[in-house]
A and B are shown apart, each in its own frame.
Chain A
Amino acid sequence: MLSRMADCLYWMARNMERAENTARLLDVSLQMSLLHASSQDDLLVPLDVTGVTADFLSRWPKPDAGRVLDYLALDPSVPGSIYNCIRLARENAHVVRVKITGEMWEQINGTWLEMRDWQKRGLDARTASAFLDWVKERSHLFRGVSYGTMLRNDTFHFSRLGTFIERADNTARILNVKTRQIRDHEPQAENILDYYQWAALLRSVSCFEAYRDIYRDRITPERVAELLILRPDMPRSLRACFEEISQVLSHVEGQAGRSARRLASEIRARLTYSDISDIFAEGLEASLDSLIADIHRLGSAIHDSYLEAA
């Protein structure tokens, strides 16, 4: 496949996944900010995770829920806003339109047309959650249509790679930000707020119910970390993402991607053969920092091997 086509497929899927993740983050942090209106920490979480806090504060020194929502959801001048993620997903899809199925194109194009309507109408406290639900639904639909209609060739593989690299990156980042946020609190025994913080984190990655099913016990940082980093059966965990990534890479045609394949297998092996006590022995934040760096290295390796090959 042409490298440029693979690049577009990869970024089409990454941007769609990113739109969903940002919607999840916003959803939970808006709810949390209602819980204790005095603190701005929760409002800033989605900005921290996406790495745009400084830019936001330079525009709006006093954050409030409406501003954060508008900035991350609708603002065309913010590169990572949901609006721009969907726009980019659609632009990339347009280039590879002959490669993807007609149903996929119609789904993505339809999402973009509706996104423009949302953007024109604007959001407020009453419509915010309907919008965020809509984004999640459109992302589910994107995955469903891809999975259900695409031929299992490199077109499918590069799209899947984009989805899981983005998801792994997001899970690692959100866990990282929350860990720091909770660490920075005054240490108190049985901090009731911490419970809500961890619960919010679980909800933002859709695994509050999974946690209850698996552990049937109170929420602790060790278990949350285990669930999100090491459990192979949790679809948004790093381990699950890397299982998928190394499998997809092994199916890509040609011998160009040796370094990317090796790196993905290494990360996967580390996640497979670690347990949570190893991770806490190294320090959760340090472990997450190095995982985020690994994901970044893998992204670069994929680029060098496939997407910008010469």
Chain B
Amino acid sequence: MHSIKALDLSHYDEMLVDGQSTRASYARFADWLHQAPLDWLRQKQDEADTLFRKIGITFAVYGDESGAERLIPFDTIPRIISAAEWKTLEAGCVQRVTALNRFLHDIYHEQDILKAGLIPPEQILTNAGYQLAMQGIDLPRRIYAHIAGVDIIRHRDGGFYVLEDNLRTPSGVSYMLENRKMMMRLFPELFARHDITPVEHYPNLLLDTLRAVAPVEVDNPTVVVLTPGQYNSAYFEHAFLASQMGVELVEGQDLFVKNGHVHMRTTAGPQRVDVIYRRIDDAYLDPLAFQPDSMLGVPGLMSVYREGRVTVCNAVGTGVADDKSIYPYVPDMIRFYLGEEPILHNVPTWQLRKPEDLAYVLAHLPELVVKEVHGAGGYGMLVGPAASQAEIEAYRLRILDDPANFIAQPTLSLSTCPTFVEAGIAPRHIDLRPFVLSGDKVRLVAGGLTRVALREGSLVVNSSQGGGTKDTWILKEDATC
């Protein structure tokens, strides 16, 4: 028997109820875990590290001069979600992403939501993520965010809350797939004991999704994955997805525009490209339309795109909808476009562009988390309870300099999950990122990426800030007892 503890009763633990008895979803796993000797588990953990290093699942860290590749730590204790909970999560994600796609189409066309006065127009029209070039452009199936990563946390009340919607180039899905493969390799007996929903068909669904949004006149569309190159932190994932889908992994220099179409340079001559799953930001896509000094993009791409002769996934201009200043409006979007009540909660958010919110936040900095509106990756945020007085004061000055650039949220109590650490098994904070695909329909594989903050007490799960990952199990059915 291992001693498995919950952190304290003010956090929800995924495995334990009231800090002691095991939840039904973890019952079978707990039986197995208690029979597994600690040094055997440790040996398995080492085996996983060796295998990951050998396969080369590494990521490059920005700002690391040596260009060193690091491994994202993998934890062998899975995060298990019951079938019933998943049903809610799945419906909530589909609802949310459907509404966000409707919203994106609307703001680039009729702008009904602005006319209805639900969102102040300047919030959208002056937003850095809003692309004027996209106004009036009709996209296949009216889909903008073909691949969305919805970051979800579980609060101490047991409910799921959406932390943010990643609608530009969400990453991490390769870890979802590799983590499952690793777990099946390390612990085959566990998979015999559980009925776990598979995730391995994700690349097929992704390819179906991308092909479903090709320009209408194309019968057998050619899909490519566009990467900034091998020095990008997510290059492994770009290469992984391209090879899993059986499509080419291209860089900007491989593509060119001729006679109104995009082509790639191949050894057999130019080949037409119909759908580009791009993993580079809007600003670098086309030096003629955006940053003129970008070496990553394809000159002339935007003109072909605007003519509807190539599909770019995700669409140009989705950034406006996953901006942290727009996030507070998502529940309203769901009501406005779908006439439904939101299934998943938003985290209460203060918008510092509003004077009353600003005043409140400045008075409560030590309790709050403050983020930049356009920030990502856990960089540039203030975690009030963990910050020193000096850090808080320095951040206060940054806020006062440009309040509209910030939002604030209460310090969330991320749920914990037993995790394998130096000293044995201990609770660590986790979140969840399911990947939602929108093409001919909106769907997701039953699973996602569970990120875990490995440092004791840490709430930051980003891989660039010492986070690790876990396999995420969705049970096919819940035990009836």
Give Cα A94 to B270, complex, Å.
24
In the bound complex, residues from chain A placing their C-beta under 8 Å from that of B248 are 2
CB pair B267–A254 under 8 Å, yes or no, is yes
In the bound complex, residues from chain B placing their C-beta under 8 Å from that of A97 are 56, 239
Q: Which of B233-280 contact A (CB under 8 A)?
A: 239-240, 242-243, 248-251, 253-254, 256, 264-270
A242 within 8 A of B: no
CB pair A3–B266 under 8 Å, yes or no, is yes
Known: A4-B251, A97-B56, A98-B249. A309 touches B267 (CB 8 A): yes
Q: Which of A98, A256, A310 contacts B242 (CB 8 A)?
A: A98
Grouping DSSP codes into helix (H, G, I), strand (E, B) and loop, the B interface class, with mixed when no group exceeds half, is mixed
B115 within 8 A of A: no
Most buried by A among B240, B243, B265: B265
In the bound complex, residues from chain B placing their C-beta under 8 Å from that of A257 are 267
In the bound complex, residues from chain B placing their C-beta under 8 Å from that of A309 are 265-267, 269-270
In the bound complex, residues from chain A placing their C-beta under 8 Å from that of B204 are none
CB pair B253–A4 under 8 Å, yes or no, is yes
In the bound complex, residues from chain B placing their C-beta under 8 Å from that of A98 are 239-240, 242-243, 249
Known: A94-B230, A98-B243, A98-B249. A306 touches B267 (CB 8 A): yes
Q: Which of A94, A106, A158, A253 contacts B268 (CB 8 A)?
A: A253
Give Cα A307 to B266, complex, Å.
8
Give Cα A126 to B428, complex, Å.
54
Instruction: Return A9 CB to nearest CB of chain B, in Å.
Output: 10
Known: A95-B230, A98-B239. A3 touches B56 (CB 8 A): no
Q: Which of A6, A102, A105, A106 contacts B267 (CB 8 A)?
A: A6
Identify the closest chain B residue to A307 (Cβ): B267
Contact-size category for A? 20 to 34
Give B52-68 as 1s and 0s: 1 = Cβ < 8 Å from A's Cβ atoms: 00111000000000000
Identify the closest chain A residue to B258 (Cβ): A310
A193 within 8 A of B: no
CB pair B254–A3 under 8 Å, yes or no, is yes
CB pair B265–A1 under 8 Å, yes or no, is no
A58 within 8 A of B: no
CB pair B267–A310 under 8 Å, yes or no, is no
CB pair B56–A253 under 8 Å, yes or no, is no
- Please list the residues of chain A having a beta carbon within 8 angstroms of any beta carbon in chain B: 1-4, 6, 94-95, 97-98, 102, 105-106, 154, 158, 252-257, 306-310
What are some 19 contacts across the A-B interface (CB < 8 A)? Answer: A1-B267, A2-B250, A2-B254, A2-B264, A2-B267, A3-B254, A3-B265, A4-B250, A4-B254, A4-B265, A95-B230, A98-B243, A98-B249, A105-B56, A252-B267, A254-B267, A256-B268, A309-B270, A310-B265
